[in-house]
Structure 1
Amino acid sequence: MKLRFVVVALLPYSLAHAEPRYTQNDFGGVGLLQTPTARMAPAGELSLNANRTEPYSRYSLSLQPLEWLEGTFRYTAITDRMYGPKSFSGNQSYKDKAVDAKARLWQESHWLPEVALGFLDIGGTGLFSSEYFVANKRYNNFDFSLGIAWGYIGNRGDFENPLSYIDDRFDSRPASSNSNAGNVNTSSYFRGSPSLFGGVVYQTPWAPLSLKLEFDGNDYKHEPLNSSHVQDSPINIGAVYKLNENIDLTAGWERGNTALFGITLHTNFVSRKAPAKTYDPPAQPLPTNAPTVGLDQVDWAEVSKKLESNAGYKVERIAQRDSELMVYGEQSKYFYTAKGAGRASRILDNTANDQIQWFTMVNKRYDMPVEEISVPRSTFRDVVNNEQDLVNLHRTTEVNRATAHYDKTLYQHKPDPFTYGFGLGYQQNMGGPDGFLLYQISAYAEGQYRFTPSTWASGGISANLLNNYDKFTYDASSNLPRVRTDVRQYVTTSDITMPALQLNKAKRLDQDLYGMVYGGYLESMYAGVGGELLYRPMSERWSIGADLNYVRQRDFDQGFGLRDYRTVTGHVTTYTKLPFDLDAAVSVGRYLARDWGTTIDISREFTNGVKFGGWVTRTTASKEEYGEGSFDKGIYISIPFDEMMSVSTMSRANIAWAPLTRDGGAMLHRQYSLHTMTDGRNRDAFYENFEKISE
């Protein structure tokens, strides 16, 4: 194996020319070793990174929501410093939380380099905060970078700050402090003496191997927590080995005296292909000729069963309107609406005589008509048989507001009112003084009973299977009502809990207006009653909603008991589409701790439904009342299980990360959202995945 490596590495350059790959740096984010570059991963990329350079262990998550924007969220374990007193935190090392961002300012052209502006440790303690400009230029197998940095990356301080000519304040940089944890410390930006940094990545002729050479801008004499490290050389070297499509291994030598080891797990949710749906029933083949039997002679009960088992529609009614066959029901299986509509059209084409020219699926959610999809029969048949191009079907298939029709009922069905499911749950608490990772694995059973199509009860039971929450002894201090910081008691008091049990009713009040009321045990910490209204015009890229709730805190064991704390909470929320395919939700209202304020949620949803997002909340709670962190913020990733499983499903995996749990800016976690329930009104999502209509 060693001999083979040497032979491959010595192949002539002309035989193995390849562009350098984009790999992660020590901090997370595309870069060299200790320094970033101007390069960006492809949009949709997600990387999990872990590396060790004495005395730092860094664990980071990097997201690429846009082609020109990168975000990184990181924990750094400073292993030569303790978290706190041994009696409280044991042998746990100090943990630092940080958020980084990098934006491309200029894309590389023939003569000009790629240029990016970046910030390290924007909203954490500022121990590793830094600002930089960096440029990259590629030449064959080499990718060169050169930048200027202030703060941590530029701690060597090569020269006087050129910004001092504007204002003397730029001469010195304020010291970082835990008292500023959570703030966006703009008063420190671009201050102090900067340094140059840079390097080169070489893509070797052996495709899995990349080599890195770096000139470090830090001299390690001013490390966090009044520490310093000996630097024998500012030149760092490293190698990245691509183990497979999703794993990179990194090794290096930094400061002239310290080894680096790292691993990156990465995937791209735009370019990766979902697993083949081997556990789905095969789509029905189209008949050679249309059936000749009259519609009144069709076994519609059997057709209804096929529509549910093969196309995912829980049929409420099948009707005829002139030359149109209409199916009223609720899609319960296929994440991509076009796929369900195509499978339903195949079944109906095997059923209806040639009198029928259109198939229309009227999609409902809890008896609320959302949208109707009308598929032209002859064009659909030609496309499936490869006799017409898909673009013709795209042009003629209609997605409209669901409206009342005068039609003839051919069949009516009442679905089974009771549905249930089982699964495993996981929750965690990261970065606390009790332990870096506290976790719980649980089993749950959940069910739903529909008294009428629009009135239902839902709830579940959860049982603890495995956890290390016995280490969870710390209750965060709070200067507000304890609406969320009692989380320790809620996860440790009982092994058997009832996360939710509530009664709900939903209704479409007008063509574009929806309403819902609910009451019961609404989430793990609160019970109460509430209601929601949503105005969502069909095919518009905006909507507006409002919710109002009267809630009371639940007992820690999450049984039927209640505590004394009660409040009224609710928000008015506007949803809109922004440039760069971003979605925004802005909520204004009253939070659980009786503070008033605004939450801004910005996300990017890709065509396959994967969503990267983040939120920030500012309220009337002062920094002193809020405590460490100053204000609420976090990120989340939402991934359709359809992207990960070999069977079609509409379920999602939702993963949220907030650096701290505090009481300010806390929202009620409602089980149902009208905006989510009416996603069928998003016509763009249907046409973005239109090709699935023929699957």
Structure 2
Amino acid sequence: PQVRANSDMTQHTPWNIGMNYRLGDWGDAKISYQRGDTLTLGFNFYTNFNHMKASWLDTPKPKVQAAPTSNDWQQASIELLHNAGYQQNTIAVSNTKVIVTGEQVKYRDKDEALERAAAVLTHYASDDITEFHIIEQNNGVALTETIINREDYISAANYNQLGLTPQSTFDKYQEPTPTFSSIVAQSIKHWDYGLSPSLQQSLGGPEAFYLFSLGLSAHSNYWLTPKLELGGAIYINIIDNYDKFNYGIDSPQSPHVRNEATPRVRTMFRSYVQDPVRLSQLQLTWFEQPTESIYTQVYGGYLESMFAGVGSEILYRPMNSNWALGLDMNYLSQREADSWFGIYSDNYFYYNGVNPDSQTCINNPTSCRAYVLNQGTTGHLTTYYTPDWSFLSNTLFKVSAGKFLGGDIGARIDFSKQFKSGVIAGVYTVFTDLTADEYGEGSYNKGFYVSIPFDIMTVKPSTNRAILNWEPITRDGGQMLRKKHQLYDRTDARSPWVQRPNTSQ
């Protein structure tokens, strides 16, 4: 018989037959009979991510005032939060400047946020103030500064000059300048919490075509300082079908694991979803900017559902540039599947009810034990590039080269396209030094994902996103650590990719 990756690939007929039926503009259905032993049924659905306009019930934009109406800076800080969307904001006054620092959490359209912030400030800034400085930050680190000339902005907002728009008065993408001015108001929240749905899924595996785990993630973060975060999350399982996934640590009859080329860094996932409530993440993270265009994070704790350890990341990202370069390094131990806080103390875990000294285990040890990652390292050098070529407009290439969780060496290539609505669709593939037999069924790691902005599905503007990821035939090769924070995403304001405005017509 023809065998590949320990699977019998013998065909029973030399022909295949199939039929495709168009259901209309929105989809089609297909059925086929393949290899003389396989019946398949499929559906395709079509949509246009470029044509997904948002309809909001938003707070009205403040009227622009030629002269101040109040000197209550604390009220201005509150309005900057609720109307303009600048969270964790501070207001400082320096000679003829008002300096606002905050994190934008409401509008993907930066011009909308800036215009609202400037309108708010016209109500409170005294007549001697000539400039508004808006510094956008994330995790306590300043990213970009916009300078707005007050007189020009008021003139444009009141249509006093033909052809002049409020946006044309924004001098954007300036390197933030340190300010030592006294803070006159602030809206700082040290603790936040929330509850969000969580879906993990896999397509096309031999155990079942679709495997999933649906639950809720209760998460909380506490900021010890503006740059030091303590965060955690508890996962509450609602429903899953991972009982069909026969890679379980309590199942020595697994037909797939017949070598120990890599530790079981992902294929033991079934064992991690058996408890209905579990600690998925608990870590301390410190963010810093050592110098211009360089950003860092250092983190430690229970980094994800399957791994604990410490790590760091450094990112070089020039202002308003179409490229960036990052490096991350991590020292890890695999978490015990049946414990909230335990980690494996040995490289091998014997299945429940198995006698390691039995003749069966001596003759065939892989049938009795799981190879886990007691201690290990992983890290990658990653290049980010958004091409300027017209035929590749609104795309992002990410190439990560280094050592993966299982110890295999190689590269992951990720390509994504952003549509006018802000929806991002991407695909990735991973090539490592594992052979097809060592990797197992599927031969190499690959997948695709869709990132959907919340604000095209809700009636309120938001910078949050729903991310749907599909990885067919999950195996242990080519797997990366699922970090809580990615510096490229956290520094998006320097050259927006994730937070681009909706330009659908």
Among residues 464, 469, 473, which one is paired with 1:656 in the alignment?
Answer: 469
Name the CA shift for 1:467/1:530 in 2 (closer, same or farther; >3 Å).
same
Instruction: Give the structure-2-normalised TM-score.
Output: 0.81
Secondary structure at the aligned position of 2:200 is classed as strand
What is the CA-CA distance between 1:501 and the residue it aligns to?
0.5
Match of 2:397 in 1: 584
Distance 1:273 1:684 in 2: 18
Q: Does 2:202 correspond to 1:429?
A: yes
What is the CA-CA distance between 1:353 and the residue it aligns to?
3.4
Distance 1:620 1:590 in 2: 10
Match of 2:358 in 1: none
Secondary structure at the aligned position of 1:555 is classed as coil
What is the CA-CA distance between 1:511 and the residue it aligns to?
1.1
1:96-111 to 2 correspondences below 5 Å: none
Q: Does 2:179 correspond to 1:179?
A: no
Q: Percent identity?
A: 34
Instruction: Give the structure-1-normalised TM-score.
Output: 0.60
Match of 2:282 in 1: 501
CA deviations on 1:266-307 (whole Å, 9 max, x unpaired) are 322212212x222x32222333x32266xxxx1111111111
Distance 1:632 1:241 in 2: 34
Q: Does 2:45 correspond to 1:268?
A: no
The answer as to whether partners of 1:338 and 1:689 remain within 8 angstroms in 2 is no
Distance 2:468 2:194 in 1: 20
Q: Does 2:292 correspond to 1:483?
A: no
1:540-619 to 2 correspondences below 5 Å: 540-557=321-338, 559-564=340-345, 565-578=374-387, 579=389, 580-581=392-393, 582-619=395-432
RMSD: 3.3
1:294-333 to 2 correspondences below 5 Å: 298-333=71-106
What is the CA-CA distance between 1:431 and the residue it aligns to?
2.4
Distance 2:266 2:43 in 1: 35
The answer as to whether partners of 2:51 and 2:421 remain within 8 angstroms in 1 is no
**Which residue identity is paired with 2:335?**
R
Match of 1:226 in 2: 13
Count of residues paired in the alignment: 455
Secondary structure at the aligned position of 2:77 is classed as helix
Q: Identify unmatched segments of 5+ residues in structure 1.
A: 1-175, 183-222, 253-259
The answer as to whether partners of 2:77 and 2:187 remain within 8 angstroms in 1 is no
Q: Does 2:116 correspond to 1:291?
A: no
Name the CA shift for 1:394/1:415 in 2 (closer, same or farther; >3 Å).
closer
Distance 1:627 1:391 in 2: 62
Match of 2:308 in 1: 527
The answer as to whether partners of 1:516 and 1:532 remain within 8 angstroms in 2 is yes
What is the CA-CA distance between 1:393 and the residue it aligns to?
4.1
Name the CA shift for 1:587/1:435 in 2 (closer, same or farther; >3 Å).
closer
Among residues 478, 481, 492, which one is paired with 1:665 in the alignment?
Answer: 478
**Which residue identity is paired with 2:4?**
S
Q: Does 2:114 correspond to 1:341?
A: yes
What is the CA-CA distance between 1:421 and the residue it aligns to?
0.4
**Which residue identity is paired with 1:467?**
D
The answer as to whether partners of 2:234 and 2:280 remain within 8 angstroms in 1 is yes
What is the CA-CA distance between 1:634 and the residue it aligns to?
1.6
Name the CA shift for 1:508/1:225 in 2 (closer, same or farther; >3 Å).
farther
Distance 2:197 2:69 in 1: 49
Q: Does 2:64 correspond to 1:277?
A: no
**Which residue identity is paired with 2:399?**
V
The answer as to whether partners of 2:230 and 2:284 remain within 8 angstroms in 1 is yes
**Which residue identity is paired with 2:56?**
K
Name the CA shift for 1:230/1:239 in 2 (closer, same or farther; >3 Å).
closer
Distance 1:609 1:592 in 2: 32
The answer as to whether partners of 2:52 and 2:456 remain within 8 angstroms in 1 is no
What is the CA-CA distance between 1:426 and the residue it aligns to?
1.9
Name the CA shift for 1:502/1:652 in 2 (closer, same or farther; >3 Å).
same
Distance 1:536 1:239 in 2: 47
CA deviations on 1:362-400 (whole Å, 9 max, x unpaired) are 111111111112233344445544555777444441223
**Which residue identity is paired with 2:384?**
Y
Distance 2:502 2:17 in 1: 59
The answer as to whether partners of 1:338 and 1:690 remain within 8 angstroms in 2 is no
Name the CA shift for 1:230/1:248 in 2 (closer, same or farther; >3 Å).
closer
What is the CA-CA distance between 1:441 and the residue it aligns to?
2.0
Secondary structure at the aligned position of 2:481 is classed as coil
Q: Does 2:461 correspond to 1:681?
A: no
The answer as to whether partners of 1:569 and 1:589 remain within 8 angstroms in 2 is yes
**Which residue identity is paired with 1:489?**
S
**Which residue identity is paired with 1:650?**
T
Name the CA shift for 1:277/1:388 in 2 (closer, same or farther; >3 Å).
farther
Distance 1:495 1:593 in 2: 27
Distance 2:20 2:300 in 1: 61
**Which residue identity is paired with 1:573?**
T
The answer as to whether partners of 2:157 and 2:165 remain within 8 angstroms in 1 is no
Distance 2:225 2:193 in 1: 17
Distance 2:413 2:498 in 1: 23
The answer as to whether partners of 1:631 and 1:665 remain within 8 angstroms in 2 is yes
CA deviations on 1:170-208 (whole Å, 9 max, x unpaired) are xxxxxx9762899xxxxxxxxxxxxxxxxxxxxxxxxxx
The answer as to whether partners of 1:508 and 1:515 remain within 8 angstroms in 2 is yes
The answer as to whether partners of 2:91 and 2:185 remain within 8 angstroms in 1 is yes
1:127-146 to 2 correspondences below 5 Å: none
Distance 1:543 1:290 in 2: 43
The answer as to whether partners of 2:69 and 2:123 remain within 8 angstroms in 1 is no
What is the CA-CA distance between 1:355 and the residue it aligns to?
2.8
What is the CA-CA distance between 1:238 and the residue it aligns to?
6.3
Distance 1:367 1:229 in 2: 60
**Which residue identity is paired with 1:340?**
A
Match of 1:163 in 2: none
What is the CA-CA distance between 1:606 and the residue it aligns to?
3.2
**Which residue identity is paired with 1:488?**
R
Secondary structure at the aligned position of 1:308 is classed as helix
Distance 1:177 1:334 in 2: 56
What is the CA-CA distance between 1:417 and the residue it aligns to?
0.9
Among residues 130, 145, 155, which one is paired with 1:357 in the alignment?
Answer: 130
Q: Identify unmatched segments of 5+ residues in structure 2.
A: 32-39, 248-253, 346-373
**Which residue identity is paired with 2:235?**
S
CA deviations on 1:98-152 (whole Å, 9 max, x unpaired) are xxxxxxxxxxxxxxxxxxxxxxxxxxxxxxxxxxxxxxxxxxxxxxxxxxxxxxx
Secondary structure at the aligned position of 1:268 is classed as coil
Match of 2:296 in 1: 515
The answer as to whether partners of 2:199 and 2:213 remain within 8 angstroms in 1 is yes
Name the CA shift for 1:402/1:180 in 2 (closer, same or farther; >3 Å).
same
What is the CA-CA distance between 1:643 and the residue it aligns to?
2.2
Rg (Cα) greater in structure: 1
Higher relative contact order (CA 8 A, sep 6+): 2
Among residues 226, 230, 233, which one is paired with 1:457 in the alignment?
Answer: 230
1:158-169 to 2 correspondences below 5 Å: none
